[in-house]
Amino acid sequence: MYPLLESAINHLGEHFARRNWKYLDVPSGSPKEKTYEWPGSPDEKIMICVHNGPDIQEMFHRQDFFFFNFAYKGDYGALSYKYDNHITVHENECYIGQPHTGYALSAHSEENIIIVGILIQKETFFKTFLPVLSADAKLFHFFLNPQTNEYSEEFIHLRFDDSCCVRMLLDMMVIEYANPREDTQDILQPIVLTLLMLVARQYKHSNPVSGDARLSDQIVRYMGEHTDAVTLKDIAKHFSYHPNYISTLLRREIGKSFSEILLELRMERALSLLKGTSLSIEKIALMLGYSNSSNFYKAFREYYGKSPRDYIAAK
């Protein structure tokens, strides 16, 4: 470990215990549930926290932000409510937690354990990072689930096949955050974005789709991963079939045309985004592949019988 990085890790490690890790009751006055609020200042949208020591033992708690905890050096334990699950997060692995999800860190070692945590405020996550993570339907719904199920207990435990790039990005963030400047949050944002794209790639690789699915099911899945730009010609090229064959296959096996399936996929995703985020309608329209919000308004009204704004008002 070179001196600048070692100094940054030590610096953030020393500040870890000084953070405002205050447990609050949930609901107020309840002795059973504890939660963390955002431990940084409100203008910090991204925080980089480092635990650097041989021992850590947290009270079981929830929190109101997304977090990505990387085992940078050594292994640590993580306890989740999900199936009363206790797992070991090994070096070069990551534990991803949602807002409100129950969680506790636990570790004891002869040598120092280094955990690098990336904390992201909910609004920032939805506006800045969710759009690039939305291609994988399972990952997309994982990040949105806490907004419709306040006590979702899902988590992701991920090991990286190639940890070199991930560690390089972590090093950059640790050094930047330990030596803050006026533009530090602006610098962190694209680095975190790159890291989360690697998370999405590894998640997809670690959760392969069954190879025995029907071609029509594979096509629909592909459409769901590319709702913003997919065309019949794209699908024909990707699967090496003539567009007319694709159209006939979808109609025969799914019972719907390409356009009908794409509209259904877009509207399902639009509903999830309207329910689970505060993204603007213009942003949602762009994420779904509409060239302008007027076209999205028209499609949404025809599909659901009311405008997006009326739908939001009725939530």
pLDDT in tens, 140-166: 888 877 655 555 567 889 998 878 899
My answer on whether 56 and 112 are in the same domain is yes
Q: Which of 206, 227, 250 is the last residue of a domain?
A: 206
Query: Are the C-beta atoms of residues 112 and 73 closer than 8 Å to each other?
Result: yes
My answer on whether 219 and 201 are in the same domain is no
The first and second tokens of residue 170, run together, are 């972590």
Structural domain harbouring 259 = 215-313
pLDDT band of residue 22 (cuts 50, 70, 90) is low
pLDDT of 180 higher than 90: yes
Query: Are the C-beta atoms of residues 285 and 295 closer than 8 Å to each other?
Result: yes
My answer on whether 33 and 173 are in the same domain is yes
The first and second tokens of residue 273, run together, are 């985004």
My answer on whether 172 and 283 are in the same domain is no
My answer on whether 227 and 182 are in the same domain is no
pLDDT, residue 61, reads 79
Report in angstroms the alpha-carbon separations of 211 from 218, 230, 237, 242. 9, 22, 19, 21
My answer on whether 200 and 227 are in the same domain is no
Q: Which of 206, 235, 253 is the last residue of a domain?
A: 206
How many residues comprise the chain? 315
User: pTM above 0.85?
Assistant: no
Q: Residue 29: phi, psi to the nearest 5?
A: 90, -5
Question: Closest by alpha carbon to 136, among 221, 53, 235?
Answer: 221
Question: Closest by alpha carbon to 52, among 16, 22, 20?
Answer: 16
pLDDT of 134 higher than 70: yes
pLDDT band of residue 94 (cuts 50, 70, 90) is very high
- Report the mean per-residue pLDDT for the chain: 86
Q: Report percent pLDDT > 70 for the chain.
A: 90
| Least-confidence region, from 180-184, 262-266, 289-293 | 289-293
- Helices marked H in 25-157: 122-124, 130-133, 137-148
Which residue is associated with the tokens 């019972």?
Answer: 255
Residues sharing a CB contact under 8 Å with residue 263, sequence separation 6 or more, in sequence order: 299, 303
Burial class (CB in 10 A: 0-12, 13-18, 19+), 146: buried
What average pLDDT score do residues 303-313 get?
86
My answer on whether 169 and 134 are in the same domain is yes
**C-alpha span between 17 and 11 (Å, rounded):** 11
pLDDT of 48 higher than 90: yes
My answer on whether 62 and 175 are in the same domain is yes
Report the amino acid identity of residue 160: F
pLDDT of 82 higher than 60: no
Q: Which residue pairs, CB below 8 angstroms and at least 24 apart, start in 278-287?
A: 278/123, 278/126, 278/127, 279/126, 279/127, 279/130, 281/308, 281/309, 283/127, 283/131, 284/308, 286/228, 287/131, 287/134, 287/228
Q: Report percent pLDDT > 90 for the chain.
A: 45
Q: What CATH number is associated with residue 309?
A: 1.10.10.60
My answer on whether 168 and 230 are in the same domain is no
Which residue is associated with the tokens 């940078």?
Answer: 72
**C-alpha span between 256 and 61 (Å, rounded):** 46
My answer on whether 14 and 156 are in the same domain is yes
pLDDT, residue 84, reads 61
pLDDT, residue 161, reads 82
My answer on whether 201 and 265 are in the same domain is no
Q: What CATH number is associated with residue 32?
A: 2.60.120.280
**C-alpha span between 229 and 217 (Å, rounded):** 19
pLDDT, residue 211, reads 63
HSE-CB for 121 with a 13 A CA cutoff = 17
Biggest CA-to-CA distance, the chain:
65
Question: Closest by alpha carbon to 92, among 167, 6, 175?
Answer: 167
Local structure of residue 209 (DSSP, 8 states): P
Where is pLDDT greater, at 181 or 29?
Answer: 181
Domain count, the chain: 2
pLDDT of 234 higher than 80: yes
My answer on whether 157 and 302 are in the same domain is no
Q: Which of 150, 176, 206 is the last residue of a domain?
A: 206
Where is pLDDT greater, at 289 or 150?
Answer: 289
